[in-house]
Structure 1
Amino acid sequence: MGKGRGGPQQAYDMNRRWTRGERYDGPRESRWMVNDWRRQPGLWAPPSGYQWMRYGNQFLLTALTTGIIAGVVNAGMTAVTPAVPVVPATPMVPVAPGYPATQGYPTGNYGSPY
């Protein structure tokens, strides 16, 4: 802890690398909050209950109530850790008339000797 004009001050390591899922325990003063996220490359509108925080060379999308980090963007970089896990889409396979609408092979004995 350092001593400032207002009394003891918490020392923070601004070189720390945060990852999604960690609990943000850094400063919460207004000077660390990002209110102009549109002007920062790579940032998007925070969902309800979340706030962008600037910590060193990173932007952290943190939950207001718990401090859990939902997304991390490096300042000046385009690499983004998505706030929501990316789920691959299931390809839609058209089903021909007369066949079951399930994935895989139809069941039944279609003239096979086995």
Structure 2
Amino acid sequence: MNLAGMTDHTLLKPQAMEKDIVALCHEAQLHKFATVCVNPIYVQTAAKLLHGTGIGVVAVVGFPLGATFTEVKIQEVFMVKAHGGKEVDMVINIGWAKSGNWDAVEQDVARVVEAA
């Protein structure tokens, strides 16, 4: 069983620099990870570095707290796709979840999924 081939290789530190993304992508190729997961600003860099390798590029939306407008998350999805991202990992609104506002969480997720 190839666990690396089912694993996201992730770097979401706010202080990550382009050189860190280059290293992440190199490691992903070396170990044959399924995807790399990066902050949206580095999707284009990762997509260029991984083009033709079969390794996908994932970005987070609504990261880290999910406490932003659904429309902002949707715009992030559009931009991630435009820059070469193939998947998004969405952070739900944690405050809504903690307060039991599951209808709002469900609507938020549904609208973002529809955009993806």
TM-score (norm 1): 0.23
Higher percent of residues as helix: 2
Report the structure number with the largest CA radius of gyration. Answer: 1
